[in-house]
């Protein structure tokens, strides 16, 4: 009786401890309810014995219980409207203000820059030169004496382009820009309301030209140019036929000085242009001395090998495979141009903050590519996870994003929105800030899977059917590492030259080798990101300047503040784990680390 009394006291203490566990008590009590119901029907003589067994089983469950969720600490930020080295609207970690650090400032605002009106992005209009800058910071625009508004694509009246006639040259620019350039040459503004650049270029060839005589000297000019200098104008007349002018017709052939004239012309003995001697069919060809020169780019560099390109074509180049969350560490997106027979290549921002999109037009068996660098909305993809009710709709509507289906076992499966083209991590600048931000982002893939084991009749344990058995297999590691890689430069993966490192920690399941991803370091023939909106198409046609809004990771600063919520949404997915009776829960862990 004394022995049973002591055991009863022990059981009472165990139950008391369990009832005061803030995180685990409700879960365990819920699991214990069926057993408690059975307990009430037991024979009175077995009550003490069964109560002791129950206490021991609950204690086993307590000792087996691991943390089944994680909390991402929120990083605090302050905003420098201008850093000591002149950077505009830069986030710094709270408490890191300094009057000497180049990347900091002495008196930061006590909030992140995304909450500061001076750091909003919009359109900046240069009221003097008539230039428009998209995605311009309000503070930077004001500092340069520009006019700022919140239309970040500059779809405002002041930035609408038309045709500006400057002499016999036509430029597709804004009206204010036309006024500025015309004044530099002493001409009155001649601005035409045309909708496309092609219409504007065509207009330049239809300008009235003729002989302009001033002080006995004749030059070929437009009527506007001639009147501007006080000359006498003879419409549609060559200088060789103008009264009182001694110039012989058609003495030589060659190329015109005017930038919009590409044919081979006759010139009089005074050097004035006359009739066309040979048509070159621009933009395919242009005048080169006394003949026509092909302006296409033969054997131009391509993603794989080379390809002939027509003059004016733009296309994308990549350091490796793109999309499906598999852009390699350190890789970038590039845009190539064929310009008058020469290939020019520019980078689309840094750390894949901008991506290259391309469209291909096919006609009569021939293709013509247009491409542009556009903002990578990778951080928006992560942000969608904070609102589970709209996650799927928002993610599928944004072609920069994709739904990643994690489906390891019946009790460990979930959907998460991840970037199709992961944003890279900045490798220079504030090391502590970069490491903090990238670690927070990669930690979204830190997940635990609880596996149920069943005690065999003849002893030993085996994984129970439906108890997340696949979490102990390579399938768990492969899916979780893919999840990790798709978040950014995280996980066991490779860089763009095919070298890799192990950056994932797994317990309870097989490891994954970065060598299986080497193929993603090679570019894929014919692969490119497709444009998703009219804004991007216009950018490729008219050269709209679209810059990376996440410079210095300010976009990531904003994102990291929501990671705690997103972590809770993904959470650690656990099947109803039985810690009672003949079942015990083991745990498989995945930890995603910055590359």
Report d(CA 118, CA 140) in Å as an integer.
9
- d(C-alpha 71, C-alpha 75), whole Å: 12
Q: What 3-state DSSP class applies to 79?
A: strand
Cα 189 from Cα 195, distance rounded (Å): 18
Domain membership of residue 327 (yes or no) is no
Q: Which two tokens stand for residue 528?
A: 């490119």
Domain holding 28, by residue range, is: 2-13+24-64
> What is the pLDDT, as a whole number, of residue 45?
41
Instruction: Tell me, yes or no, whether 38 lies in a domain.
Output: yes
pLDDT at 492 over 50: yes
β-strand partners of 346: 335
Distance CA(111)–CA(113), nearest Å, equals 7
pTM, two decimal places: 0.60
pLDDT at 131: 92
Q: What is the DSSP letter of 153?
A: T
Give the residue with greater pLDDT, 19 vs 172.
172
Q: How many Å apart are CA 134 and CA 147, to the nearest integer?
A: 12
Measuring CA to CA, how many Å separate 512 from each of 96, 220, 309, 496, 515? 38, 75, 42, 19, 9
3-state secondary structure of 437: helix
Give Cα 297 to chain centroid, integer Å. 29
Q: Which two tokens stand for residue 467?
A: 């108890």
Per-residue confidence (pLDDT) for residue 404, from 0 to 100: 93
What are the counts of helices (DSSP H) followed by strands (DSSP E) for the chain? 14, 31
318 domain-assigned: no
User: Out of 103-117, 332-346, 474-488, which region has the weakest mean confidence (pLDDT)?
Assistant: 103-117
pLDDT category, 551, cuts 50, 70, 90? very low
Question: Is pLDDT at 214 greater than 80 in this prediction?
Answer: yes
Per the listing, tokens 């370091």 go with 521
Residue 588: the pLDDT is 66
pLDDT at 335: 94
User: Within a 10 A sphere around the Cβ of 132, how many other Cβ atoms?
Assistant: 24
Q: What is the pLDDT of residues 140-165, one digit of tens each?
A: 899 889 999 988 889 889 999 999 98
Helix (H) / strand (E) element for 133: namely: strand 132-137
Residue 175 lies in a domain: no
Higher pLDDT, 65 or 556: 556
- Is a pLDDT exceeding 80 seen at residue 560? no
Answer yes or no: are the C-beta atoms of 31 and 579 closer than 8 Å. yes
User: Looking at the 3D structure of the chain, how many domains does it have?
Assistant: 2
How is the chain split among helix, strand and coil, in percent rounded to 5? 30, 30, 40
Is the backbone of residue 21 left (phi > 0), alpha (psi -120 to 50) or beta?
beta
Q: What span, in angstroms and rounded, lies between the C-alpha atoms of 69 and 426?
A: 29
Is the confidence at residue 556, as pLDDT, over 80? no
CA distance 404 to 551: 27
Least-confidence region, from 36-50, 125-139, 198-212, 581-595: 36-50
Q: Indicate the SS3 state at residue 454.
A: strand
pLDDT tens across 111-144, in order?
A: 888 788 889 989 999 989 999 998 888 988 998 8
Residue 91, domain member (yes or no): no
State the Cα–Cα distance between residues 175 and 158, nearest whole angstrom: 8
Q: Cite the beta strand spans of 200-279 per DSSP E.
A: 209-214, 217-222, 232-235, 252-255, 264-267, 273-278
Nearest-Å Rg of the Cα atoms of the chain is 35
Tokens 């903002």, located at residue: 375
Q: What is the pLDDT of residue 542?
A: 42
In the predicted structure, residue 220 carries a pLDDT above the cut 70: yes
| Residue 115 belongs to some domain of the structure | no
Task: For residue 445, name the pLDDT band (cuts at 50, 70, 90).
Answer: confident
Contact predicate 518/500, CB 8 Å: yes
Binned at pLDDT 50, 70 and 90, residue 206 comes out as low
Q: Both tokens of residue 19?
A: 């009832």
| Rounded Cα distance, 223 and 234, in Å | 8
Return the percentage of the chain with pLDDT > 70, whole number. Answer: 74
In a domain, 291, yes or no: no
Phi-psi category of residue 193: left, alpha or beta, with phi > 0 → left and psi -120 to 50 → alpha: beta
Q: How far apart are CA 272 and CA 283, in angstroms?
A: 24
pLDDT tens digits, 246-285: 999 988 999 998 877 899 999 999 999 999 999 999 889 9
Reported as a pLDDT band with limits 50, 70 and 90, residue 184 is confident
User: Is 39 part of any domain?
Assistant: yes
Q: Tell me the C-alpha distance between 26 and 34, whole Å.
A: 14
**Mean pLDDT of the 370-377 span:** 89
Query: Which secondary structure element, helix H or strand E, spans residue 163, and what is its range?
Result: strand 161-166
- Distance from C-alpha of 24 to C-alpha of 347, rounded to nearest angstrom: 52
Token look-up 């005074």 returns: 270
**148 vs 436, more confident:** 148
Tens of pLDDT, residues 47-105: 434 433 444 343 333 333 333 333 333 446 788 988 888 888 887 877 777 788 777 88
Which pLDDT score is estimated for 25? 42
Burial class (CB in 10 A: 0-12, 13-18, 19+), 459: exposed
**Nearest 5 degrees, angle CA 87-CA 91-CA 96?**
100
Which stretch, 73-82, 209-218, 347-356, 529-538, has highest mean pLDDT?
Answer: 209-218
Q: What is the DSSP letter of 331?
A: -
Mean pLDDT of all residues in the chain?
77
């Amino acid at each position: 009786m004394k022995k049973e009394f002591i055991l009863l006291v022990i059981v009472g203490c165990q139950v008391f401890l369990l009832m005061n566990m803030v995180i685990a008590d409700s879960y365990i009590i819920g699991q214990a309810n069926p057993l408690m119901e059975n307990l009430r029907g037991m024979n009175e003589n077995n009550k003490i014995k069964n109560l002791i067994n129950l206490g021991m089983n609950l204690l086993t469950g307590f000792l087996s219980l691991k943390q089944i969720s994680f909390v991402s600490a929120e990083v605090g930020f302050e905003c420098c409207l201008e850093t000591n080295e002149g950077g505009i609207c830069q986030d710094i970690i709270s408490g890191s203000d300094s009057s000497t650090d180049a990347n900091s400032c002495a008196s930061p605002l006590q909030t992140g820059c995304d909450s500061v009106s001076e750091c909003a992005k919009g359109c900046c209009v240069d009221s003097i030169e008539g230039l428009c800058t998209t995605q311009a910071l309000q503070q930077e625009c004001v500092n340069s004496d520009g006019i700022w508004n919140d239309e970040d694509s500059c779809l405002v009246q002041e930035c609408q382009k038309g045709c500006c006639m400057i002499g016999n040259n036509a430029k597709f620019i804004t009206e204010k820009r036309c006024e500025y350039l015309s004044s530099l040459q002493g001409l009155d503004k001649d601005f035409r309301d045309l909708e496309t650049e092609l219409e504007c270029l065509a207009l330049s060839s239809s300008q009235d030209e003729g002989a302009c005589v001033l002080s006995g000297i004749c030059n070929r000019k437009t009527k506007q140019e001639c009147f501007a200098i006080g000359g006498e104008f003879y419409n549609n007349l060559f200088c060789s036929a103008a009264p009182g002018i001694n110039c012989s017709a058609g003495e030589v052939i060659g190329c015109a000085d005017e930038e919009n004239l590409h044919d081979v012309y006759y010139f009089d003995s005074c050097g004035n242009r006359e009739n066309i001697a040979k048509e070159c069919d621009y933009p395919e060809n242009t005048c080169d001395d006394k003949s026509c020169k092909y302006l296409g780019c033969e054997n131009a560099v391509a993603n794989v090998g080379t390809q002939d390109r027509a003059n004016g074509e733009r296309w994308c180049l990549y350091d490796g495979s793109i999309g499906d969350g598999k852009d390699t560490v350190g890789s970038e997106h590039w845009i190539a141009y064929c310009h008058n027979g020469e290939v020019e290549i520019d980078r689309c921002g840094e750390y894949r903050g901008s991506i290259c999109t391309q469209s291909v037009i096919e006609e009569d068996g021939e293709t013509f590519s247009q491409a542009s660098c556009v903002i990578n909305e990778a951080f928006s993809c992560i942000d969608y996870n904070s609102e589970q009710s709209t996650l799927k709709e928002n993610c599928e509507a944004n072609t920069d994003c994709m739904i990643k289906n994690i489906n390891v076992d019946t009790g460990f499966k979930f959907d998460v929105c991840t970037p199709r083209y992961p944003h890279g991590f900045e490798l220079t600048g504030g090391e502590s800030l970069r490491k903090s931000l990238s670690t927070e982002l990669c930690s979204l893939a830190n997940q635990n899977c609880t596996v149920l084991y069943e005690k065999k009749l003849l002893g030993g344990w085996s994984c129970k059917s439906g108890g997340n058995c696949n979490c102990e297999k390579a399938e768990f590691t492969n899916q979780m590492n893919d999840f990790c890689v798709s978040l950014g430069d995280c996980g066991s993966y490779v860089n763009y030259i095919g070298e890799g490192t192990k950056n994932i920690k797994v317990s309870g399941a097989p490891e994954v080798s970065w060598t299986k991803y080497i193929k993603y370091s090679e570019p894929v023939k014919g692969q490119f990101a497709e444009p998703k909106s009219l804004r991007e198409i216009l950018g490729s046609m008219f050269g709209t300047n679209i810059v990376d809004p996440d410079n210095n990771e300010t976009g990531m600063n904003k994102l990291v503040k929501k990671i705690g919520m997103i972590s809770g949404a993904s959470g650690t997915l656990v099947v109803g784990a039985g810690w009672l009776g003949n079942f015990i829960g083991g745990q498989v862990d995945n930890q995603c680390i910055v590359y």
